[in-house]
Amino acid sequence: MKRLLTNARLISPGMDLPGASLLIAGEAIAAVYPAGTALPTADEVHDLGGNLLMPGFIDIHCHGRGGADFCDGTPEAFDTIGRGKLAEGVTGFLATTLTVGIDRLEATFAAAAEYRRRPTGARLLGIHLEGPFFNPACAGAQNPAYLREPDLALVDRLNAICPIRKVSFSPELPGGIEFARELVARGIMPSGAHSAADYAQFLAAREAGMTHLTHFCNVMTPLHHLRFGMVGGGLRYADILVEIIADGIHLCPEMIELIFQVKPTDSIMLITDAMRGAAMPDGDFDLGGLPVRVVNGKAQLADGTVAGSTLQFHRALRRVSELTGLPLAELAKTVAWNQARSLNLGPLGRLEPGCPADAVVLNGDFEPVQVWLGGVPQTGH
């Protein structure tokens, strides 16, 4: 089956082609045609009406959506979230866990493995294990009852059920540097998070292979003129990729602008860190056994601690576009390409021949109007 998408403003890393067309053959992109190029015949032709055509988004940090959380550990939760992510233009995601008991983690990994065998929505690209290896002083909205020191045996046990792509942990914990080194040896990205690490500890972890920082600036040692901290390290080194939650709650506008001024776009990854209250009315929810109240879209514990987000991915892109004014061909790196190449997720995140035909069509307000997954238009999300 050949499908031709025509009349699109095609945006891909380093590429902005108004009036372009894209040929899909089976599940992959076969060719890109700039405006004015003779077009081939196809079994189907889809006129995109001048809308944006971008690589399908990849959300490597998402806990839930639509009332469901991955740590519910049920097929129904994965189905709800997987289908719902398509409505945000997300075609691939890492199911992100919470700091919960081992039994719940095992149930979550088993449900993830089942979803991978019979996906009903966006692609499950693996697991992001967020916790339980966190500094108790930096738990944030993670349940302190289940925190523990880095444990490779537990990682191996869970990884055997469903592949782990990324582990968020506090590198200053006992054995943290060796833990990072061993994760890299297993093909898993260690990512600094919920951390009181000083600059020297950050540098040691970076040397061991920790080149991701989870929800950058949130619950980590800040930049200080005498104590540089993990935030300082993330800003200083181009090889450190940082996740940012552009919801207007986790980072102020000036901080988002500064990150994009200091860091190359090759080193920034948009995420949602969404909890089960995303795409739901305000109300009361649960996050890893902790009660959360969402008011005006802001999720908080009873003590006021921010507890994840209700952000939807396409709105993060709209926000950083408005704040930075950067070309979309640059921002396109932050929605999928950086995530895919840094986590070895395959040839995702580009609209080029040979890449999977995962794409999102966005209107002028960055709202998704159509999603393509493996060369097939998705409906009913």
Give the number of other Cβ atoms within 10 Å of residue 57's Cβ: 30
Nearest to 9 by CA among 360, 286, 287: 360
Could you give the C-alpha distances from 267 to 57, 129, 190, 334, 338, in angstroms and in order? 16, 21, 16, 8, 7
273 catalytic per annotation: yes
- Asked if residue 99 lies in contact with residue 133, where contact means CB atoms within 8 angstroms, the answer is no
Region of residue 146 (left: phi > 0; alpha: psi -120 to 50; beta: else)? alpha
- Active-site residue among 273, 282, 303, 358? 273
Q: What is the DSSP string of 300-334?
A: E-TTS-B--B---HHHHHHHHHHHH---HHHHGGG
d(CA 39, CA 25): 14
**Residue 96: both structure tokens together:** 């992100």
- Asked if residue 142 lies in contact with residue 90, where contact means CB atoms within 8 angstroms, the answer is no
**Residue 338: both structure tokens together:** 């950086």
Identify the three-state secondary structure at position 170: coil
Q: What is the DSSP string of 46-112?
A: EE-TT-EEEEPEEEEEE-EETTEEGGG-SHHHHHHHHHHHHTTTEEEEEEE--S--HHHHHHHHHHH
The residues carrying an active-site annotation are 273
